[in-house]
A and B are shown apart, each in its own frame.
Chain A
Amino acid sequence: MKKNELAAAALVFLATIGTVLGIFGFENFRKSRLYTVELIARAPDNGNWYPRKITVPFGKKVKILIRNIETVTHGFALPDFNVAVKEIKAGEVVVVEFTPDKKGAFPFMCTVWCSDQHMNMTGEIVVE
């Protein structure tokens, strides 16, 4: 009978703490393996892009996971490398790839009018 209790407790633990740990563990592993950086898109009123400055090495392929964590549509443009996502709807997650072939600081910005401070929704990618 004691076995039943232990089994039940194990199930409870698995269903709760196990699930939480498993989910976070999996996500951290996935992110570190697959993407150079995770970029959060949010309007300037709520904090702007995060991180706003991304530093990447010259010549190595860059994969950015862009997540729109808001309830309005955003977009992403990095004109200097001809990279863009015309619109990233609320909740959507997109991936952009490019290989930086020049050094310097290049602006990226939002391409859809998303808030009164939309024009301020800019960030910088630094290639060194």
Chain B
Amino acid sequence: MLRALRVLTMTALFTVCLLVTICFAAERFFEIKAKRFVYTPNIIKVNKGDIVNIRLISEDVTHGFFLDGYSLNTSSHPGQEGSLKFTADKTGRFSFRCSVTCGALHPYMMGHLFVLPNSLFMAGAFTILLLGIASLIFALRKKQKDERLKLFGIIPLDLRFPLTKFKPLRTLLKSRWFPFILIMLNLFIFTVILLAGFIGGLSSGSYNFGVMLVWILWWVLLMMFMVPIIGRFWCMMCPFPLIGDWIQRGKLINVGKQKSWGLSKRWPNKWRNLWPLVVLFWISTWFSGFFTVKPFATFVLLGAIILLAIIVAIFFDKRTFCLFVCPVSGFQGLYANFSMIGVRSRDPETCRKHTLKTCVVGSEKGYGCPWMEIPFEMNRNTYCGLCFECFKTCPYDNMDLVLRPFGQDLFVEKRRTDEIYHRRGTDEAFKAITMVGIFLSFFLAFQGPYGHLKDMVTAKTLKGYLGYLGESFLVDFLLIPGSLLIFAYLSKKLSKNKEVKLKDVFVNFSYCLVPVGLAIWAAFSLGIILPNGSYLLHIISDPFAWGWNLFGTANFPWTPVFTYAMYYLQVVVALIGFIFALDFGFKFSLKTYNTIEEAKRGWVPMLIYLIVIHILFLKLFVG
């Protein structure tokens, strides 16, 4: 009923917009100057039906002009201009982007064309409000706390389907060649990536296997598919810890001594949570203006991470690197709580009776959990790297790979280790928060029309670069957590609950940013893969820009795809994140407060917060 209401309202809105758009088609002329890496003017606005003439003048090197949504293209050498003429019959905000490699930041050189009225934005904002109101109505109508939490009121959140029920899968997971064989495949790919980065130097990133595979393919796959659906799947096949494991174990694939060679230091308890990763990942983003565009920089980054992995492995025990140092580990761990798969023990009674606990200490069949988790009582994906050693060591085959509804791990009870290691607290809250903040910086700098931001991230001037670092710190560690704290405070005040700790309110509601973060990063990835995915066809045939043509696709031209649908897709994806946040959020409220009335009242400020930030995201994507 609510859905029907939503659809009806949206249709009404669209019709009104169409009628209201009284367009006397004007002819507009724009002279757009292109200079690395910005267009001037960078934002132009026309009305629907206008005839638009664009003259492109390059001021330094050859630049191009591709208009999303209309798929029109022109280019200009210095001294020779390009021109475009078209009728602006599609409304919305369309990026025009450079279509001829002009320098390091070429893939991010773009401007905005607004064809008013921006009905997609208005419809999206309206939908957000509508969904928010629907969520409020649903919350207010609730009479009592559920016995069993259900996702969208339909799917029980504690549902688990054991995929390892299927013998072939279990056999695969128990083999010592799995996931080793996948790691080998990845090792080969990374060798090529590192080689391409090493050879590629400061040449065009778009034509470099290393840059394209890591920042276009892998990042997009990670954010859009791997993490939300199959959790820490990447960690399973990551080749980085291979050398470290080999040194520690003295064996590549067989089972040897259980004690790690090396200094086997233990990572201190107070840092056995996401805090080190919050800081390390944030620091790695300082260099995003360099390593995502230059092959040499990608080589240095990956090489440094591999080096770090080996060094940490010989100083500390087991997968300390993977758990507390690898920059990618933090958000994978946190967001894996949302994913559809997990490793869990099946029958707790079996585990209770098993005194040896080979999943922890290891056996001749496999190593004790290298991720230093406790497989028999593990209830979240955060610190599990899907290495499947516990499948190999469990004599009762009591470990399962389960399929479960999205977000299951966000509602499980806290464990003893969570308390000892200060987990599931501000560490995870700040991980979720900084991921949103980093998204904001990246989106504005790389997928926005603002030349001065691009100058700042690439350190054109030291002052600008420090400005970027300062802004990043302000947003990630002050603005977003500060605003969340304010709304958490309002939530507590409104709930009229005096005993609940503000910190708990803050942390609990921060988990709303898990589905939100996943969604906005997935939408960000769409903005990368759809315009630039065609480069992948080139680099698989000519990985080093040497003139190879392995698969015949070396001359495949840059072809942006679905650039009209892209904006709609981004809105839909952001709305999906919003819907999950609404569903989870109220459940978090019920968990935080004692009575259902408190939860209802406490939910309202957070609901408003979510609505506000989503309208902001909408503005970023299509407004």
Within 8 A of B (CB), among A62-81: 65, 67-73
| Cβ of A27 under 8 Å from chain B | yes
A91 and B195 within 8 A (CB): no
Question: Are A23 and B61 interface neighbours, CB within 8 A?
Answer: no
Question: In the complex, what distance in Å separates the CA atom of A4 from the CA atom of B255?
Answer: 11
State whether B547 touches A89 (Cβ < 8 A). Answer: no
Chain A residues within an 8 Å CB radius of B253? 4-5, 7-8
Given contacts A11-B184, A113-B61, contact A69 B201 (CB under 8 A): yes
Stretch at the interface among A13-21, A98-106, A119-127: A13-21
Contact A71:B103 (CB < 8 A) given known A8-B252, A114-B61: yes
List A residues 2-38 near B (Cβ within 8 Å).
2, 4-5, 7-9, 11-12, 14-16, 19-20, 23, 27, 30
Q: Check: B309 CB closer than 8 A to any chain A CB.
A: no
Q: Which residues of A are found within 8 Å of B180, using beta-carbon distances?
A: 8
Question: Which of chain A's residues has its CB closest to B558's CB?
Answer: A89
Given contacts A4-B176, A20-B191, contact A91 B208 (CB under 8 A): yes
User: Are B201 and A19 touching (Cβ within 8 A)?
Assistant: no
Given the complex, which residues of B lie within 8 Å of A16, measured CB to CB?
Answer: 187-188, 191
Give the distance in Å from the alpha carbon of A58 to the alpha carbon of B180 in the complex: 57
CA distance A126 to B77 in the complex (A): 30
Interface residue B120 (Cβ < 8 Å from any Cβ of A): no
Total A residues in contact with B, Cβ cutoff 8 Å: 36
B-chain residues with CB within 8 Å of residue A30 when the two chains form the complex: 548
Assess A12 versus B187: contact at CB under 8 Å? Given A5-B254, A72-B102, A89-B101: yes
Q: Which residue of B lies closest to A46 (CB)?
A: B202
Smallest CB separation, A1 vs chain B (Å): 6
- Size of chain B's interface in residues, with CB distance under 8 A? 40
| A71 and B98 alpha carbons, distance in the complex (Å) | 13
Q: Is B139 an interface residue (CB 8 A)?
A: no
Bound form: Cα–Cα A27–B195 in Å: 13
Contact present for A15 and B188 (CB under 8 Å) = yes
Question: Can you name the residue of chain B whose Cβ is closest to the Cβ of A91?
Answer: B207
Contact indicator A71/B204 (Cβ below 8 Å):
yes
Docked pose: A14 CA to B180 CA in angstroms: 14
Complex Cα distance, B36 from A114, in Å, reads 12
Contact with A along B39-70 (1 / 0, CB 8 A): 00000000000000000000001100000000
Q: Does A95 contact B (CB under 8 A)?
A: yes
Cβ of A84 under 8 Å from chain B: no
Which residue of A is nearest B206, CB measured?
A91
A83 at interface by CB-CB < 8 Å: no
- Evaluate contact between B203 and A91: CB separation under 8 angstroms: yes
CB distance from B98 to the nearest CB of A (A): 11
Q: Which residues of B contact A90 (CB under 8 A)?
A: 101-102, 106, 203-204, 206-207
Q: List chain A residues, Cβ under 8 A from B62.
A: 72-73, 87, 89, 112-114
Q: Does B100 contact A (CB under 8 A)?
A: yes
Q: Does A27 lie within 8 Å of B546, measured CB to CB?
A: yes
Interface members, chain B 145-195 (any A CB < 8 Å): 176-177, 180, 184-185, 187-188, 191-192, 195
Question: Is B104 part of the binding interface, using a Cβ–Cβ cutoff of 8 Å?
Answer: yes
Q: Is the CB of A19 within 8 A of B207?
A: no
**B211 to nearest A CB, angstroms?**
11
CB distance from A32 to the nearest CB of B (A): 13
Interface pair A67/B61, CB less than 8 Å apart: no
Q: How far is the CB of B338 from chain A (nearest CB, A)?
A: 32
Partner of B252, one of A9, A67, A69, A87: A9
Take A1-B254, A95-B547, A112-B77 as given contacts and tell me if A72 and B191 are in contact as well, using a CB distance cutoff of 8 Å: no
6 additional contacts (CB under 8 A) given A23-B195, A90-B102: A11-B184, A12-B184, A27-B544, A67-B547, A73-B61, A91-B101
23 contacts between A and B (CB under 8 A): A4-B176, A8-B180, A11-B184, A12-B242, A15-B185, A15-B187, A15-B188, A19-B192, A23-B195, A65-B547, A70-B202, A73-B61, A73-B100, A87-B62, A90-B203, A90-B204, A91-B101, A91-B203, A93-B542, A93-B545, A93-B546, A112-B62, A112-B77
Interface positions of B (Cβ within 8 A of A): 61-62, 77-79, 100-104, 106, 176-177, 180, 184-185, 187-188, 191-192, 195, 201-208, 242, 251-254, 542, 544-548
Interface residues of A (CB under 8 A from B): 1-2, 4-5, 7-9, 11-12, 14-16, 19-20, 23, 27, 30, 65, 67-73, 87, 89-93, 95, 112-115
Ranked 4 nearest A-B pairs via Cβ: A91-B207, A90-B101, A93-B547, A91-B204
